[in-house]
Structure 1
Amino acid sequence: MRIFLNILILVAVLTSLNSCRKSQFALSPLNDSLSNALDTVYTSDHPYNLNVVLFVPSDMVPNADYERRISENLLYKQNFVKTWMQHWGYGAKTFGLLKNASNRVKIHVIQGKLPTSSYPYDGGEPAMWQEISDYFNTHQKSSDHYFILTTVNKYGKQMAPYYGIGTKCYGIDFPDMEIVNMGRTDTAGLASSWIGGNTHEMMHGLNLPHNGGLVSQNALYGTPIITGNGGTFVVAPTYLDAWDCAVLGNGQVFSSTARTDWYQDPGAKIKSLHAHYDDASQKVIVSGKFSSNKKVNFIGFTNDPKRSAGDGNYDSENWVVSPIGVDSFYTEIAITEFKDRGNYQNDFTISLIHENGYRHVNSYSYQMISGKPDIQFGDRPEYNKSNWSLLNFSSEESQAENGFAINLIDNDRSTQWVSRWTGTSSTHPHYFTIDMATIKPVNRFTFVQRAGGSKPKDIQIQVSSDNITWQNAGSYVLPNAAGPTDVKLTSTLNFRYFKVTITSATDGTQWAALSEIGTYKD
């Protein structure tokens, strides 16, 4: 059945669309006039609908029959999403589209002020988006999500933006670009093959990150639409997995009810985290607790091997579970679901998927060794930091972001200290000094690295019992990995104060950024 799933979707949608076209031809002149009037009215059963934009550079004209072609493509995609939503048990949900009585989608045609060369793939998006924003200052938008197609009058001459950014995404409209032409080898077929890429980018604009799929599901269902370039869409088995549908289904244009807090940060936190690899069952097991000011509907997990520093997340494995109660989660995943178990660093993320569409992402890393995950990112038995204080620091970024140094000891891994990078930018060395309130025996420091850049690399630790006389506790190198990493001292030391000095970053930048610092004794 799975082999013919996409074909069945295609037949169902095109049959419906063809029947709509035939009924128009049978209209009497009076009914035709009525139809034209109705065609100016667009409705939807969704309170929010995808804004569909056809952007036409000044040296282009809209391609022939664009309204029918784009409408049929979008209705096919709408049905594709609904099919997989139903498959994974989320109900007959899909994204909203404004349509008229002729089953045509509302398309905002925007005539660009500049020629095609002024909107290139690299660097052309801001100029295009500014014109689109100006248009919607005087025209009603139907949601915060935009699907933007740039008109290109000849196949092979495309150069426009082609990617998803946040809640907006960019694709291409070529002549003869329609579902029924996909799979052909002539120019119309080659142009139509880009519908798969357009769909891939549209999914980015509906909140989806890349997803390479689990091994078992790829064997059953084909290729995830959100991996690669969408080239298998329609012409070969292609699917959305349960993780994709959980993220999509909590988005604005999938909602059946209105709300005013879409994508607002609910202040979520991972309160505790336990993670390990169980060799007997060959499973990664992760559990923990969280807090949030809004309801968390799903907990998503992503595993992504990093073959190189610039390796993308196209081959990631994603899965999703429901919360346990209102504040806990548990998952286990067989490592046979991981497509590549080479000796790479793996990025592991835990996503709290909220009712308002906000996805709170927590990033960690581990090393795969001889085909087995060496997972060290669970909680450590750290000393309580509630009475710790920050004595001094080299600088902090307080203007452009919340990079306050006090974030180092706030027990919140989603916040971070960032050295000053606005105004007079800071440079190495960077430092901070902490008072633990009482003298404690310590043989381990925990450094929680953030997922972004400027992670500390070369560090020096000094300790003191009186904040006057200081002892060197050693120099260390921190890995370029998100999440907690331990520094083990050569022996247990008793002290109250400690100072960390950072002399380089893992990515070679001049700044420093660190999420959390802690101490404990084995």
Structure 2
Amino acid sequence: MKIYHLVLAVTLLFGSCKRTEILTRIDANTNTLDTVYTSDHPYNLNVVLFVPSDMVPNPDYERRISETLIYQQNFVKTWMQHWGHGDKTFGLLKNASNRVKIHVVQGNLPTSSYPYEGGESAMWQEITTYFQTHQKSSDHYLILTTVNKFGEQNAPYYGIGTKCYGIDFPDMEIANMSRTDTAGLASSWIGGNTHEMMHGLNLPHNGGLVSQNNLYGTPIITGNGGTFVVAPTYLDAWDCAVLSRGQVFSTTTRSDWYAGANAKITKLNARYDDATQKVIVSGRFSSNKKVDFIGFTNDAKRSAGDGNYDSENWVTTPIGLDSFYTEIAITEFKDRSNLQNDFTISLIHENGYRHWSSYSYQMQNGKPDIQFGDRPEYNKANWTIVAVSSEETQAESGQAVHLIDGDKTTQWVSRWSGASSTHPHFFTIDMGASKPVNRFTFVQRSGGSKPKNIQIQVSTNNSTWQNAGSYVLPDAAGPAYVTLPNSLTFRYFKVTISSATDGTQWAALNEVGTYQD
């Protein structure tokens, strides 16, 4: 009878950025080495096969999952090369037989305890416990839940941060994907697994540009990944720029992966040029970490929760150290009906951190009515907050002074901890001197409690007030502009908020400004 001893050794060679994990099964009689896992990457995707207590690992899982992962690895490499990033792809630990290192985690509970809705937390807790005594290779995880019979799946199936969840069925492999029997139907879920894996590797949804969809097919990160392998499927330049700065794509080590940066857009110009039918956006940014790419996203909002599946994404490199410029033809937009569009500018940093600023505009008769961008607002150096209904200073930094600090990333928030405030909310601002005004700018935040119904009052002495009108602000992040019926000259203005766009009882606003055309 043979006796096996299990020894785990991990070596990270920082000079060569090569990682070796040795999972050694030593025969007591022959002392033979069984398995060594290596990678040219210092960070590698943690592949987990999660097996609920009422399941057993599906037959031949190691070969099938390994072949799929290597296919996915090569798919990514192909598009990284296409978009000029060389042969980059995500790291995988493999042995001499080209089998990927798979962590098998035996669940403590039956399948019913890990449902699609609400089951992720329990599953992740057990996986976290497993990795307390097993070496992880990075901060990214692909978690495949074992389901022994096709059609009986009800497990987590989505991406959350650097984690992604998929399924492993019997006979699920690349070679079976074009078949029409049960094995083929089960294998078709590889496309969905790949879609979710891209989320776990940092990608948001992306519907692709019209021209690239015509050339290359369907982006893997739109829909459900159903075209993967069986029809033309691709990663676009934006996808590859984001991936290229991910931890498991790196060939060097660093200690600040995904750590936030003090980043912001400091200047923004945006317009639609009817002669060329292009949206033109330029500006400047600042950050205390290096920005490698500037990403742009346009998304027509058919509904509030459409998930950006049909968004258009493109990317440029910075001009110098702090500037950007891009043009995009509106023929690249898939939907030009009269919808609100969300426009996002992303600063993609060298450590993988992505800072984004969101704006909105309305499509009118097939043309973008772009109103966001810097306006000739009055300098706020001498502005002061005269009064405010409440401000949150305990649970977060929500002071009213953030409304006039010139920083669009800070915000005033009405008090919500302790004795919580309710509508109406208000703030009063002294501009330091009387000025002619016919325009107000309100910078909405990306979170909830955005002001909806507001009333503006103005005064020259903070005693006698004139009604300047009631207005409705949009439920969209970024600048919202209010035009007064007539230009008025005043020193003080008071904004009263009577409702929020999401129906909550609080108010939150990033910035307010005034100017005259």
Note whether the superposition's TM-score is higher than 0.5: yes
Q: Deviations over 1:225-280 (max 9, x none)?
A: 00000000001000000000000001111111111111111111100100011000
CA contact (8 A) 1:35 1:101 kept: no
* Offset of residue 64 of structure 1: 1.0
Moved more, 399-408 or 203-212: 399-408
2:331 aligned counterpart, secondary structure:
helix
CA contact (8 A) 1:394 1:431 kept: yes
Alpha-carbon distance between aligned partners in 1 of 2:393 and 2:134, rounded to the nearest angstrom: 37
Structure 1 residue identity aligned to 2:497: I
Partner of 1:369: 364
Partner of 1:24: none
* Offset of residue 450 of structure 1: 1.9
Shift of the 515–188 alpha-carbon distance from structure 1 to 2, 3 Å rule, reads same
Larger strand proportion, structure 1 or 2? 2
Alpha-carbon distance between aligned partners in 2 of 1:187 and 1:377, rounded to the nearest angstrom: 52
1:269 matches 2:302: no
Moved more, 368-377 or 438-447: 438-447
* Offset of residue 490 of structure 1: 2.4
Q: Deviations over 1:179-211 (max 9, x none)?
A: 111110111111110000000000000110000
Structure 2 residue identity aligned to 1:396: E
Alpha-carbon distance between aligned partners in 1 of 2:150 and 2:255, rounded to the nearest angstrom: 42
Normalised TM-score (structure 2)? 0.92
Q: Where does structure 1 lack aligned partners over 5 or more consecutive residues?
A: 1-30
Shift of the 94–134 alpha-carbon distance from structure 1 to 2, 3 Å rule, reads same
Structure 1 residue identity aligned to 2:436: P
1:465 matches 2:460: yes
Partner of 2:347: 352
Partner of 2:75: 80
Q: Which of 94, 97, 109 is equivalent to 2:104?
A: 109
Query: What's the Cα RMSD here?
Result: 1.9
Q: Which of 315, 319, 331 is equivalent to 1:336?
A: 331
Which structure 2 residues correspond to residues 80-479 of structure 1 after superposition, within 5 A?
Answer: 80-479=75-474
* Offset of residue 33 of structure 1: 11
* Offset of residue 454 of structure 1: 1.9
Shift of the 163–34 alpha-carbon distance from structure 1 to 2, 3 Å rule, reads farther
Shift of the 120–451 alpha-carbon distance from structure 1 to 2, 3 Å rule, reads same
Q: Deviations over 1:373-429 (max 9, x none)?
A: 000001110011123222332233344444333221222222222223334432211
* Offset of residue 169 of structure 1: 0.7
Alpha-carbon distance between aligned partners in 2 of 1:278 and 1:321, rounded to the nearest angstrom: 20
Structure 1 residue identity aligned to 2:404: I
1:510 matches 2:514: no
Larger helix proportion, structure 1 or 2? 1
CA contact (8 A) 1:200 1:226 kept: yes
Partner of 1:45: 40
1:42 aligned counterpart, secondary structure:
strand
Q: Where does structure 2 lack aligned partners over 5 or more consecutive residues?
A: 1-25
* Offset of residue 473 of structure 1: 2.1
Alpha-carbon distance between aligned partners in 2 of 1:297 and 1:36, rounded to the nearest angstrom: 50
Moved more, 103-112 or 324-333: 103-112
Moved more, 230-239 or 406-415: 406-415
Normalised TM-score (structure 1)? 0.91
Count of aligned pairs between the two proteins: 492
Structure 2 residue identity aligned to 1:366: Y
1:41 aligned counterpart, secondary structure:
strand
2:337 aligned counterpart, secondary structure:
coil
Alpha-carbon distance between aligned partners in 2 of 1:165 and 1:358, rounded to the nearest angstrom: 16
1:62 matches 2:57: yes
1:117 aligned counterpart, secondary structure:
helix
CA contact (8 A) 1:273 1:287 kept: yes
Structure 1 residue identity aligned to 2:510: S
* Offset of residue 37 of structure 1: 5.5
Q: Deviations over 1:3-55 (max 9, x none)?
A: xxxxxxxxxxxxxxxxxxxxxxxxxxxx9999996553222111111111111
Partner of 1:16: none
CA contact (8 A) 1:39 1:101 kept: no
Alpha-carbon distance between aligned partners in 2 of 1:48 and 1:404, rounded to the nearest angstrom: 41
* Offset of residue 492 of structure 1: 2.3
Alpha-carbon distance between aligned partners in 2 of 1:87 and 1:205, rounded to the nearest angstrom: 22
Alpha-carbon distance between aligned partners in 1 of 2:31 and 2:91, rounded to the nearest angstrom: 23
User: Share of identical aligned residues, percent?
Assistant: 82
1:395 aligned counterpart, secondary structure:
coil
Shift of the 36–107 alpha-carbon distance from structure 1 to 2, 3 Å rule, reads farther
Q: Deviations over 1:57-78 (max 9, x none)?
A: 1111111111111111111111
